[in-house]
Amino acid sequence: MHRGTVALFVLCAGMLLAAGTAGAAGGGDRAGAVYTLTNSAAGNGVAVFDRAKDGTLTPDGTFPTGGNGTGANLGSQGAVILSEDRHELFAVNAGSNSISYFKVNHDGLEWQATVPSGGVGPSSLTLHDRVLYVLNAGGVANITGFVVNHDDLSPLAGSTRPLGAGSSGPAQVSFAPNGQVLVVTEKSSSTIDTYGVDAHGVAGPPTVNAAVGGTPFGFDFDKRGNVLTSNASGSASSYDIARDGSLSVISGAVPTTTARSRCSTRTGSPATSAPVATPSTSR
């Protein structure tokens, strides 16, 4: 779903996400909106900012998610995401083990539902068509799927899958552009798990792939569906992804100019990296 996105990192506690005019209120100088999680342990919320054409941000309210955050850095990418048409927003509540669903309108956000995430410590989300997956990073980590209905989220039967054997420290989950494979990076084990996805959106068992660069973190896909990872050890890598989920190295651990890099940035086809703490996604 992120084929048209550029991922950046910013120094803040919550996840930032910027949308174009499709999700923003009217106004001649308004270019779009920015969404960030407060991640407050006393009640999580999505803070909304109007974004002017010159980049100026103006606060435009905070919308409760109906769940709690952790009050600490989530160490992940994709904790708040928009649908491809920018009309829906999804957010994790890592402190209450739930996820929230909003509609985006000209007045801000309209809460639709908050449901259990199917695990502990939800930290990352991905959407393809009407199927949403969450990465539950705490406890016995897993991925769990949901069907996005008009005003609710329904658990997708049979979709919960564990991480691969020996995998630990998950950072991000994302659908491949064709929706046929799910990818999860693992920081601690330096592995990349992949899951084949059937026609109903149900993930199969994980395939564990050794990462060619240490501590794979954020990632994206190029126009051909290749996986582009940024490795927190200070490198970037690329992989071809087969239908069965197996990865073949295209470029190994290419050094970056920074000591630590955590997010893969795609502008066209290349991947670059940035060295700070919390991911941001911008159209």
pLDDT digits (tens, 9 = 90+) for 263-275: 444 433 333 333 2
Which stretches of the chain are DSSP H helices?
none
Sign for the CA dihedral angle at 261, 264, 266, 271 comes to: positive
Q: Residue 46 belongs to what domain range?
A: 6-282
Mean pLDDT of 65-89: 95
Instruction: Confirm whether 12 is domain-assigned.
Output: yes
pLDDT digits (tens, 9 = 90+) for 99-122: 999 999 988 999 999 999 999 999
Assess whether pLDDT exceeds 90 at residue 276: no
How many whole angstroms separate alpha carbon 120 and alpha carbon 160?
13
How many whole angstroms separate alpha carbon 127 and alpha carbon 153?
12
How many whole angstroms separate alpha carbon 69 and alpha carbon 129?
27
How many whole angstroms separate alpha carbon 50 and alpha carbon 71?
24
pLDDT digits (tens, 9 = 90+) for 47-68: 999 999 999 999 999 999 999 9
Counted residue by residue, the chain has a size of 283
Sign for the CA dihedral angle at 130, 209, 250, 229 comes to: positive
**What percentage of the chain carries pLDDT values higher than 70?**
81
Instruction: Confirm whether 1 is domain-assigned.
Output: no
Instruction: Confirm whether 56 is domain-assigned.
Output: yes
String of b and e for 130-148 (b: at least 16 CB within 10 Å)?
ebbbbbbbbeebbbbbbbb
Model pLDDT, residue 243: 82
Check which CATH number belongs to the domain holding 274 and give it.
2.130.10.10
- What lies within 8 Å, CB to CB, of 155 at 6+ separation is 115, 118, 144, 145, 146, 147
Instruction: Confirm whether 46 is domain-assigned.
Output: yes
Q: Label residue 277 by pLDDT band (50, 70, 90).
A: very low
How many domains does the chain divide into?
Answer: 1
pLDDT digits (tens, 9 = 90+) for 193-207: 999 999 999 999 999
- Give pTM, 2 decimals: 0.85
How many whole angstroms separate alpha carbon 85 and alpha carbon 11?
27
Q: Label residue 21 by pLDDT band (50, 70, 90).
A: very low
Model pLDDT, residue 256: 86
Cβ contact 163:194 at 8 Å: no
Instruction: Confirm whether 94 is domain-assigned.
Output: yes
Burial class (CB in 10 A: 0-12, 13-18, 19+), 157: exposed
Assess whether pLDDT exceeds 50 at residue 234: yes
Model pLDDT, residue 31: 85
Model pLDDT, residue 16: 66
C-alpha distances in angstroms, 225 versus 44, 54, 76? 34, 33, 22
- Report the chain's mean pLDDT, rounded to a whole number: 85
Tokens read off for 120: 């502990």
Instruction: Confirm whether 21 is domain-assigned.
Output: yes
Q: Could you tell me what percentage of the chain is helix, strand and coil, using 3-state DSSP and rounding each to the nearest 5?
A: 0, 55, 45
How many whole angstroms separate alpha carbon 176 and alpha carbon 227?
8
Name the 3-class secondary structure at 153: strand
Cβ contact 214:192 at 8 Å: no
Quick one: which of 6, 1, 110 has its CA closest to 66?
Answer: 110
C-alpha distances in angstroms, 217 versus 64, 72, 178, 196, 260? 28, 18, 21, 21, 11
Mean pLDDT of 164-192: 97
Instruction: Confirm whether 112 is domain-assigned.
Output: yes
Q: Label residue 154 by pLDDT band (50, 70, 90).
A: very high
Assess whether pLDDT exceeds 70 at residue 281: no
Instruction: Confirm whether 110 is domain-assigned.
Output: yes
User: Following DSSP, what letter does each residue of 81-121 receive, concatenated?
Assistant: EE-TTSSEEEEEETTTTEEEEEEEETTEEEEEEEEE-SSEE
